[in-house]
Amino acid sequence: MFVKSKYCVVVIVMTTFVMTSSKISLSSDKILIEMNKYDFFRPVITQLLEKGVDKQFIEKIINHSSTEFDERFVRINVTGYLNKADYSSHYNKLSISKSKNFLKENRDLLELAELKYDVPKEVIASVLWVETRHGNYLGNSHVVSVYLSTAMCGEKQYIDMNIRNLHDKFKGSSSELSELEKKIHDRSLKKSNWAVEQIAALEKLDAVSPVSALELKGSWAGAFGISQFIPSSYISWAVDGNGDGKINLYSLPDAVFSVANYLKSNGWGESDEQKRSAVFHYNNSSAYVDAVLKLASYIEEKPVIITQPEIVPQTEDINRAQAGGDDY
């Protein structure tokens, strides 16, 4: 069964059937599973069609062998915010050492991006470290499956599931619980709509990216590449950093230039407020902002200031003393 959950979707097919609306012929066990997926994701498919997403693209992502429903994405993308992230390990001694080496090894590339976008190379390097350890940890989640699964979180059964899970851990008052239940309900609908928007952006990405939308692997939030962009960010701010006419966020030059363009486009400036706001736009977490800017400050290459020794005006008496003066 394709559903990674204790809740199963059971579809009984008595005979071979051809579903003309999706151009899928049910003639094997494999395609029976595809039909199950089509039925299961029907609420999402309906929303995508209403947004004008091409039917063939929808069929392509639903029927792909890697596409599956994973309840984990429904949980973490709705209630994960309740667990505060700890970013302190991102600016420890190892992080500082690795990031300094990255700066040294990629100086020319980072300085070109800094020159073009006026975003310090240390900040670019810090974002890439916090996101993927400079490309060493890219995530293994099938991005299409992340968004299809998350888009289902607005369905009543999954809203109820998240609220039940909340009951098991909540230790506050009944009024606080009631308030949190409403927040989870509203957040479920918001995240579902967000996921649908990202799938729509995946259609645009699929038309221009050298990496097919179906082949994208990334985080539980659906972010991918060395820079960990979500699909809508790719469409809006990803740029070609090496001049090959393609935008591939698994390519370091494209990732570096895209981070710089993202921050500049979202308000990076001279003031601390502008800097924090731009990084916060990248990841809506104050702890994340602190981590990026702290690491950037720790790896910043301080200019070497050479001071000239102070020249003391020489008097006639001092000159004589230095030459022997009264001793002679």
Identify the DSSP state of 45: H
For the segment 153-172, the average pLDDT, to the nearest whole number, is: 91
For the segment 19-27, the average pLDDT, to the nearest whole number, is: 33
pLDDT in tens, 189-219: 999 999 999 999 999 999 999 999 999 999 9
Contacts of 17 (CB under 8 A, 6+ apart): 26
In a domain? residue 227: yes
Task: Using DSSP, state whether 120 is helix, strand or coil.
Answer: coil
Contact 201/237 with Cβ under 8 angstroms?
no
Alpha-carbon span 241 to 151, nearest angstrom: 32
pLDDT at 169: 80
Domain that holds residue 102: 88-139+207-299
Identify the DSSP state of 215: G
In a domain? residue 63: no
Percent pLDDT > 90 in the chain is 75
Contact 221/141 with Cβ under 8 angstroms?
no
Residue type, 223: A
Alpha-carbon span 298 to 96, nearest angstrom: 7
pLDDT in tens, 274-286: 999 999 999 999 9
Alpha-carbon span 164 to 322, nearest angstrom: 89
pLDDT at 23: 34
In a domain? residue 182: no
Residue type, 83: N
If one counts the domains in the chain, the total is 1
In a domain? residue 270: yes
pLDDT at 21: 36
Alpha-carbon span 261 to 276, nearest angstrom: 16
Residue type, 35: M
For 165, the token pair is: 């899970």
Q: If pLDDT is split at 50, 70 and 90, which confidence band does 6 have?
A: very low
pLDDT at 325: 40
In a domain? residue 44: no
33: pLDDT strictly greater than 80: no
pLDDT at 22: 36
Alpha-carbon span 271 to 268, nearest angstrom: 8
19: pLDDT strictly greater than 90: no
Instruction: Looking at 209-312, list the stretches that DSSP marks H as alpha helix, in order from N- to C-terminal side.
Output: 231-237, 252-265, 272-282, 286-299
pLDDT at 303: 58
83: pLDDT strictly greater than 50: yes
Q: What is the CATH number of the domain that holds 103?
A: 1.10.530
Identify the DSSP state of 19: E
Alpha-carbon span 6 to 72, nearest angstrom: 11
In a domain? residue 178: no
Alpha-carbon span 37 to 110, nearest angstrom: 44
78: pLDDT strictly greater than 50: yes
Nearest alpha-carbon partner for 222 in 156, 153, 274: 153
Alpha-carbon span 199 to 272, nearest angstrom: 34
Identify the DSSP state of 224: B
In a domain? residue 271: yes
pLDDT in tens, 131-141: 999 999 999 99
In a domain? residue 17: no
pLDDT at 117: 98
